[in-house]
């Protein structure tokens, strides 16, 4: 496809559009009755089983989607990413998060240079540093070992590490290696988040890791200055060198902030923020908490999926299949949202992380060449672990809007519980719901079935389930560091596949800039009004009204307060 051709102008796109009517005539209840079809709609790789037989699709649909992939030059685009070409064209950068988890002897080029040795240099430095901190050979300003870590960062410098940390927290191997240690995340610029993070911590035994790709993000820098104050007001300014380290691509600003550049962990502009969890962004805090060997297993899991994505034919390629079905659901069947439903409490932060990976990547209105899209790209991601979600928003999913669902199940629980006399183990109870929900959505329940059950006629419309609601199921063998890495990479690559097909740039995020610059105008106004009594001006009527009300109602706050940290 010529680079300026929109995917929606291609024949395979038009054929899929025409195919929708045929599919709308089918019902998943019948499609699931076709055993041959279902047999071929599953893929297994490295212990993971993907079943996509509950997609509103026939084998013909799948073939048409492969043709679409061909028209979008999907294979070439995947190769361009792995080859370090500048596929993030608006920022003139390679996109090489796959290099972050590549084996030591791999060769991956960006701008003519093999980046893998640099990656491993930083990984080795993290291993060495985290072992010193964990063993107590690196001590704080008063000679005490640092057992608690607060990672300060937001967006991609927060959500991925939080997801992995939360997932590892109940893994037996990770528990063992984290004994006596705490890892917390300070993301929001809301001072309440500062208060919650420092509650119960002693600066003497705390290490602060400032994580920011740019080292300019307003929220992170204010939070970093706040924690610097928290440390120095109690231990003196010189303590900062022992209690604060940084992860960034901007080592000049790290030094300017007052952090010793020797205690800075680098990454590179070819790592996008939301794809950075496998860089020092995630690896440093996770290694401090769980040790490098556990964290390395996470990297290996992600790497296994990287190899699979690059080399597996599309028919058996999990991220490619997932990406293609997302396109089918969003662009053809007209379902703009997707629910991420892990049946594992350990995966409670998967959906928040994927919200950024997916929506910041693919929420775009123009093609990679800047042509306005005649279709909507991106999808609305949300989710909760099962079974909690069942008691929250599943009503809408079953009888209201159609939301394609990702059901994620785990064969072996991290924390099995068996109670004598119970019908099943606690994990089997959880998984009974995992297996049931996808069939409930697909099959539904007809008025006839309700009549046969003697349901009162006036209740039949209320108790009818239309069914024909698509989902897919991913079954993981267990949930250790390796599996968590696999899951992360599956979603990362799926999102990239979607962007490649839509023909957009999934690796920039210009859409976050406007709000940031308007906030800076407001910040100036608040300062001028509070310190010099300047009137509110330069805003529209509505914003001025709100600002005036806010300033008036908080006028009792003196303009020049002495430093004040949370007191809880």
Ligand X SMILES: O=P(O)(O)OC[C@H]1O[C@](O)(CO)[C@@H](O)[C@@H]1O
Q: Which residues make up the interface to ligand X (CB under 6 A)? A: 154-157, 212-214, 217, 220, 273-274, 360, 509, 512
Residue from 429, 516, 534, 537 carrying the catalytic annotation: 516
Strand order in the sheet with 206-211: 182-186, 148-152, 206-211, 244-248, 264-266
Q: Kindly state the smallest distance separating residue 214's Cβ from ligand X, in Å.
A: 3
Which residue of the chain is nearest ligand X when measured via CB? 273
Say how far apart CA 290 and CA 283 lie, in whole Å. 10
Say how far apart CA 94 and CA 370 lie, in whole Å. 19
Closer residue to ligand X (CB): 72 or 221: 221
Q: Kindly state the smallest distance separating residue 548's Cβ from ligand X, in Å.
A: 29
Task: State both tokens at 271.
Answer: 């790592």
Long-range pairs for 100-109: beta carbons < 8 A, 24 or more residues apart? 100/267, 100/271, 100/276, 100/278, 100/279, 100/299, 101/278, 101/299, 101/300, 101/302, 101/303, 101/306, 101/485, 101/489, 102/303, 102/306, 103/303, 108/82, 108/84, 109/83, 109/84
Q: Kindly state the smallest distance separating residue 143's Cβ from ligand X, in Å.
A: 32
Closer residue to ligand X (CB): 28 or 277: 277
Torsion angle of the four alpha carbons 56, 58, 60, 64, in this order, in degrees rounded to the nearest 10:
30
Say how far apart CA 51 and CA 434 lie, in whole Å. 13
Give the position of tokens 């089983």: 49
Give the position of tokens 């419309």: 461
Kindly give the residue spans of alpha helices, DSSP state H, lying in 204-291: 218-235, 240-243, 251-257, 280-290
DSSP code of 387? T
Closer residue to ligand X (CB): 291 or 499: 499
Please classify residue 58 by burial: count the beta carbons closer than 10 Å to its beta carbon, then call 0-12 exposed, 13-18 middle and 19+ buried. Answer: middle
The helix or strand, by DSSP H or E, that contains position 41, with its residue range, turns out to be none
Peptide bond into 387 cis (omega under 30): yes
- Catalytic residue list contains 353: no
Query: Which segments within 189-347 are labelled E, that is strand?
Result: 206-211, 244-248, 264-266, 337-342
Closer residue to ligand X (CB): 97 or 274: 274
Q: Kindly state the smallest distance separating residue 507's Cβ from ligand X, in Å.
A: 10
- Catalytic residue list contains 364: no
Q: Kindly state the smallest distance separating residue 217's Cβ from ligand X, in Å.
A: 3
**Going by C-beta distance under 8 Å and a sequence separation of 6 or more, which residues neighbour residue 89?**
368, 505
Say how far apart CA 183 and CA 324 lie, in whole Å. 37
Residue from 204, 219, 296, 360 carrying the catalytic annotation: 360
- 359 HSE (CA, 13 A, CB side): 15
| DSSP 3-state of 139 | strand
Question: By the 8 A CB rule, do 37 and 58 touch?
Answer: yes
Say how far apart CA 232 and CA 241 lie, in whole Å. 10
Q: Kindly state the smallest distance separating residue 92's Cβ from ligand X, in Å.
A: 17
- Catalytic residue list contains 213: no
Residue from 113, 256, 391, 524 carrying the catalytic annotation: 391
Phi and psi angles of residue 492, each rounded to the nearest 5 degrees, phi first: -55, -45
Rg (CA), the chain: 26
In order, the DSSP letters of 389-442 are: GGGTTHHHHHHSS---EEEEEESS-SS----TT-SS-HHHHHHHHHHHHHHHHH
Task: State both tokens at 518.
Answer: 């308007």
Question: By the 8 A CB rule, do 358 and 381 touch?
Answer: yes
The catalytic residues are 360, 391, 516
């Amino acid at each position: 496809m010529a680079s300026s051709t929109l995917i929606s102008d291609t024949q395979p796109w038009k054929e899929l559009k025409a195919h929708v009517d045929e599919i709308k005539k089918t019902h998943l209840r019948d499609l699931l009755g076709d055993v041959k079809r279902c047999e071929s709609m599953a893929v297994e790789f490295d212990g993971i089983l993907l079943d996509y037989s509950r997609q509103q699709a026939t084998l013909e649909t799948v073939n048409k989607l492969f043709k679409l992939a061909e028209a979008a030059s999907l294979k070439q685009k995947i190769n361009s990413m792995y080859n370090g070409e500048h596929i993030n064209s608006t920022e003139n950068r390679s996109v090489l998060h796959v290099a972050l988890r590549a084996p030591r002897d791999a060769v991956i080029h960006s701008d003519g240079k093999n980046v893998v040795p640099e990656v491993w240099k930083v990984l080795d430095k993290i291993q060495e540093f985290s072992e010193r901190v964990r063993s107590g050979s690196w001590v704080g300003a008063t000679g005490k070992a640092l057992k608690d870590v607060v990672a300060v960062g937001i967006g991609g410098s927060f959500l991925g590490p939080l997801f992995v940390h939360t997932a590892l927290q109940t893994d037996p191997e990770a528990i063992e290696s984290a004994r006596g240690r705490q890892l917390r995340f300070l993301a929001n610029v809301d001072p309440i988040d500062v208060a919650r993070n420092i509650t119960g911590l002693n600066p003497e035994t705390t290490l602060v890791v400032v994580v920011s790709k740019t080292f300019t993000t307003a929220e992170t820098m204010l939070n970093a200055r706040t924690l610097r104050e928290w440390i120095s007001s109690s231990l003196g300014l010189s303590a900062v060198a022992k209690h604060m380290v940084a992860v960034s691509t901007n080592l000049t600003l790290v030094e300017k902030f007052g952090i010793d550049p020797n205690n800075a962990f680098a990454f590179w502009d070819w790592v996008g923020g939301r794809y950075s969890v496998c860089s020092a962004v995630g690896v440093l805090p996770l290694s401090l908490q769980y040790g490098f060997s556990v964290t390395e297993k996470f990297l290996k899991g992600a790497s296994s999926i990287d190899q699979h994505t690059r080399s597996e034919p599309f028919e058996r390629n999990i991220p490619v299949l997932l990406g293609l079905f997302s396109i089918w659901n969003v662009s053809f069947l007209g379902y703009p949202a997707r629910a991420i439903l892990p049946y594992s409490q350990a995966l409670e932060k998967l959906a928040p992380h994927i919200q950024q990976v997916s929506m910041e990547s693919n929420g775009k209105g123009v093609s990679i060449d800047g042509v306005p899209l005649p279709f909507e790209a991106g999808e609305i991601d949300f989710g909760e672990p099962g079974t909690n979600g069942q008691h929250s928003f599943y009503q809408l999913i079953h009888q209201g809007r159609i939301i394609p669902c990702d059901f994620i199940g785990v064969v072996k629980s991290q924390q099995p519980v068996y109670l004598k006399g119970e019908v099943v183990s606690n994990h089997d109870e959880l998984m009974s719901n995992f297996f049931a929900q996808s069939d409930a959505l697909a099959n539904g329940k007809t008025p006839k079935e309700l009549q046969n059950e003697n349901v009162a006629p006036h209740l039949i419309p209320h108790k009818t389930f239309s069914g024909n609601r698509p989902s897919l199921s991913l079954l993981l063998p267990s949930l250790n560091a390796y599996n968590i890495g696999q899951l992360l990479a599956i979603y990362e690559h799926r999102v990239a596949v979607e962007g490649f097909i839509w023909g957009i740039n999934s690796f920039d995020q210009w859409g976050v800039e406007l709000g940031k610059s308007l906030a800076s105008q407001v910040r100036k106004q608040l300062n001028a009004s509070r310190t010099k009594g300047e009137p509110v001006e330069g805003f529209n009527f509505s914003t001025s009204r709100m600002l005036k009300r806010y300033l008036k109602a908080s006028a009792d706050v003196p303009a020049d307060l002495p430093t004040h940290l949370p007191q809880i």
